[in-house]
């Protein structure tokens, strides 16, 4: 295990800043709790719009958010020209999804030259409620003029 302090590269930091506090992630109220090589932990509290008429979290919300924790677990391993694209998700909700505080953990299982395999788990009240396995294809990231500045 490395004794060097963890830090994202400039390109990884730019990707983090571009994605984490924008769009869907911002709307969902995600909070980065921890990010390190091969692992990320994110927290969120469901918004009213995320709930079913019965007051539980809609499973489709977690279906999308498992991708977020997986992406940030992979981010510290991405090269400057790599962009991960999800091509497969296997997901199981194993407990009810209450209107409560959630944590999402993402873990990098393996990264190859063109593919990455990850797992993501949603936790509520200290118990696992959703498990997901994701496969991502690593495509070439297009560099824009703003990211070249």
Give the domain CATH number at 48.
Answer: 3.10.129.10
Domains of the chain: total: 1
d(CA 30, CA 18): 14
**For the segment 83-125, what is each residue's pLDDT rounded down to a tens digit?**
999 999 999 999 999 999 999 999 999 999 999 999 999 999 9
Q: What is the pTM of this model?
A: 0.89
Domain boundaries, position 100 = 10-148
5 belongs to a structural domain: no
**Predicted pLDDT at 1:** 43
1 belongs to a structural domain: no
């Amino acid at each position: 295990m490395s004794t060097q302090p963890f830090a994202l590269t400039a390109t990884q930091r730019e990707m983090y800043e571009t994605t984490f506090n924008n769009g869907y992630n911002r709307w969902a109220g995600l909070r980065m709790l921890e990010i390190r090589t091969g692992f990320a932990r994110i927290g969120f509290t469901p918004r009213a719009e995320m709930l079913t008429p019965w007051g539980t979290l809609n499973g489709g919300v977690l279906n999308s958010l498992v991708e977020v924790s997986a992406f940030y677990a992979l981010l510290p391993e991405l090269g400057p020209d790599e962009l991960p694209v999800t091509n497969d998700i296997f997901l199981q909700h194993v407990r009810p999804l209450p209107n409560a505080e959630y944590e999402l953990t993402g873990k990098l299982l393996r990264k190859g030259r063109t593919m990455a395999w990850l797992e993501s788990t949603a936790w509520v009240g200290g118990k696992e409620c959703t498990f997901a396995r994701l496969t991502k294809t690593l495509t070439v990231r297009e560099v824009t003029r703003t990211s070249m500045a």
